[in-house]
């Protein structure tokens, strides 16, 4: 495994910055308290990272696959809000379950990371969320759509 020092520095600085942003003060006491909180958070995360049996490995090229998500979220918000405005009394219970092709891959850290990104990416937009692969054949994801849409072709590696 790579050296934990870069991870610890980034995590510690991020935790300290978040603490200071939430407190809204920069007095000496708050700066010191922020360092204590950041050190505690970093130590806990390093411990969990070391003891975990599940490791992840993200390829930075995958970020380009996620570039359409903000537009998808806006589009799905419009679809859901339009359905609510169109028929508020029938908006509840009008969703449907479906399935989507998805090649999950093996237990390699990169495959785990891709699965997590895909499931979070699909579930980010408000109209569709992933329930898992409960009772479905291998290579399928169970999804729920609040406003059913026509199924469009998806890449089974990245069905976003």
Q: pLDDT averaged over consecutive 10-residue blocks of the chain (160 residues)?
A: 80 92 89 94 88 73 83 90 75 75 80 84 87 71 84 70
Q: What is the pLDDT of residue 67?
A: 85
- Using CA atoms in the order 62, 143, 72, 102, what is the torsion angle rounded to 10 degrees? 30
Long-range contacts of 27-34 (CB under 8 A, 24+ apart): none
Q: What is the pLDDT of residue 85?
A: 84
Q: What is the pLDDT of residue 38?
A: 94
Q: State pTM to two decimals.
A: 0.60
**How do strand 96-101 and strand 140-145 relate by DSSP bridges?**
antiparallel
- Using CA atoms in the order 32, 38, 40, 42, what is the torsion angle rounded to 10 degrees? -150
> What is the distance between the alpha carbons of residues 10 and 50, in angstroms, rounded to a whole number?
16
- Using CA atoms in the order 123, 128, 131, 137, what is the torsion angle rounded to 10 degrees? -110
């Amino acid at each position: 495994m790579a050296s934990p020092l870069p991870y610890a520095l980034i995590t510690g600085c991020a935790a300290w910055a978040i603490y200071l942003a939430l407190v809204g003060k920069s007095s000496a006491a708050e700066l010191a308290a922020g360092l204590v909180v950041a050190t505690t958070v970093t130590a806990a995360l390093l411990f969990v990272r070391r003891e975990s049996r599940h490791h992840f490995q993200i390829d930075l090229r995958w970020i380009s696959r996620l570039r359409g998500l903000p537009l998808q979220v806006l589009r799905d918000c419009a679809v859901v809000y339009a359905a609510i405005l169109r028929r508020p009394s029938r908006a509840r219970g009008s969703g449907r379950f479906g399935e989507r092709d998805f090649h999950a891959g093996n237990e390699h850290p990169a495959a785990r990371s891709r699965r997590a990104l895909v499931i979070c990416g699909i579930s980010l937009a408000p109209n569709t969320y992933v329930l898992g692969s409960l009772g479905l054949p291998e290579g399928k994801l169970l999804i729920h759509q609040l406003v059913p849409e026509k199924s469009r072709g998806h890449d089974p590696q990245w069905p976003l």
